[in-house]
Amino acid sequence: MQPIKVLVVEDSMVFRELLVQNLNRDPAIQVVATARDPYEARDAIIAHKPDVMTLDVELPRMNGIEFLRKLMPQYPLPVVVISSLSDKVFDALNAGAVDFVAKPAVSSREQLEAFIQTELLVKIKIASTANISQIKQKAMHQMEQSSAFTAKGGDLVVAIGASTGGTEAIFSVVQNFGTDIPGVVIVQHMPPGFTNMYAKRLDNQCRVIVKEAETGDQVKPGHVLIAPGGDRHMRLVKVNGVYQVECKAGPKVNGHCPSVDVLFDSVAKVAGPRALGIILTGMGGDGAKGLLEMRKAGARTIGQDESTCVVYGMPKVAYDLGAVEYQEKLQDVAKRAYAVLNRM
């Protein structure tokens, strides 16, 4: 198997060399070029045709976000952004980056090397499998206000899970939810600190109210709760007849915390047939078994189709298990959700 050809774009010479040395230690990776700014990066892309590019957001001569917006229409390729704790990372994802890693706020060489070996390498390998057509032209189809929620009863809940490519996929779905949508709970694999910024960003751009979840938050119509990134799993519970979430520390499940499976399992047990589960783009199989448990409990389920996934991993595993009732293109997921909810 040919190694993954990587272009490293980083203006810090010390960090750039550290990236090159550590990435090249993995036999599955070959750093074919480095660049200090977007102009050098563009030339390197043309000359070396890398499979994946790592990109710092703060660069001289042109910032990384502007570079992505100019680059993607002409030279689409998977990009992993290396970012400090900043909401600029979501601008980068919107501009076409596949994923991001949080740059560690440490100075020790050992800690930086551990970050590269345990986090960045994994993201690069996942990015190398990304659907290029979705990078070039994202399915950000805007639905007109197509449906109103007319089902009776306030005991319905919508649970959504996603990973690689999920920040934009979730936005594509949630922006089409009106204030009449039943309470929504979401797990998106993301480092600590970024989920709060992501929730605020969605809250500013969508009609529903979006916040990072805290234990005791009620799951109610027109509200979206996003599981906090880090070391806590989010579960649905029912207290005095009212849906709430519980965010508690626990070991990783399927390599993730929070885990989509943990959320979906809890929804299956607590809401049963009064729930809708949606699984979106992402690497691996987190959420697939939980979605199957939801379906066995009588819930309705939707999976994103291969053609619109950045990485057709989680939805594929769920589909192969028989957990997906409806398979939809990303731009049709919200419409299908309303149609299903109105029959519940």
Report the CATH number that the domain containing residue 206 is assigned in CATH. 3.40.50.180
Q: 132 and 48: one domain?
A: yes
Burial of 164-175, coded b for 16+ CB within 10 Å and e otherwise, reads bbbbbbbbbbbb
In a domain, 144, yes or no: no
Give the DSSP H/E element, type plus range, for residue 100: strand 99-102
Q: Are residues 75 and 129 in the same domain?
A: yes
Same domain, 22 and 78: yes
329 domain-assigned:
yes
CA 175, 179, 261, 218 dihedral sign is positive
Q: Based on the domain organization, do 194 and 128 belong to the same domain? A: no
Q: Residue 83 to residues 10, 32, 36, 87, 256: CA-CA distances in angstroms? A: 11, 22, 16, 9, 20
221 and 72 share one domain: no
* 335 and 288 within one domain: yes
Between CA 179 and CA 186, with CA 182 as vertex, the angle to 5 degrees is: 100
Q: Which residues contact 13 (CB under 8 A, 6 or more apart)?
A: 36
pLDDT digit string (tens) for the chain, length 344 residues: 899 999 999 998 988 999 999 999 999 999 999 999 999 999 999 999 999 999 998 898 898 899 998 888 888 899 999 988 778 889 999 888 999 998 877 667 888 888 888 899 999 999 999 987 766 554 333 344 445 555 555 689 999 999 999 999 999 999 999 989 999 999 999 988 899 999 999 999 999 999 999 999 999 999 999 999 988 999 999 999 999 999 999 999 999 999 999 999 999 999 999 999 999 999 999 999 999 999 999 999 999 999 999 999 999 999 999 999 999 999 999 999 999 999 98
Domain match, 265 and 299 both:
yes
- The DSSP 8-state label assigned to residue 61 in this structure reads S
Same domain membership, residue 314 and residue 183:
yes
pTM above 0.75, yes or no: yes
Domain count, the chain: 2
Q: Which residue type is seen at 5?
A: K
Other Cβ atoms within 10 Å of 143 Cβ, number: 16
SS3 state at 249: strand
Residue 258 belongs to what domain range?
157-341
Structure tokens at 303: 């999976």
DSSP single-letter state for residue 33: E
Domain end residue (candidates: 73, 106, 136): 136
Collapsed DSSP state (helix, strand, coil) of residue 292? helix
**How many Cβ atoms sit within 10 Å of the Cβ of residue 331?**
17
Residue 149's H or E segment, with its range, is none
Whether 132 and 162 share a structural domain: no
Residues with catalytic function: 163, 189, 286
> What does the alpha-carbon distance between residue 65 and residue 92 come to, in Å, rounded to a whole number?
5
Structure letter (DSSP) for residue 63: -
Helix (H, G, I), strand (E, B) or coil at 150: coil
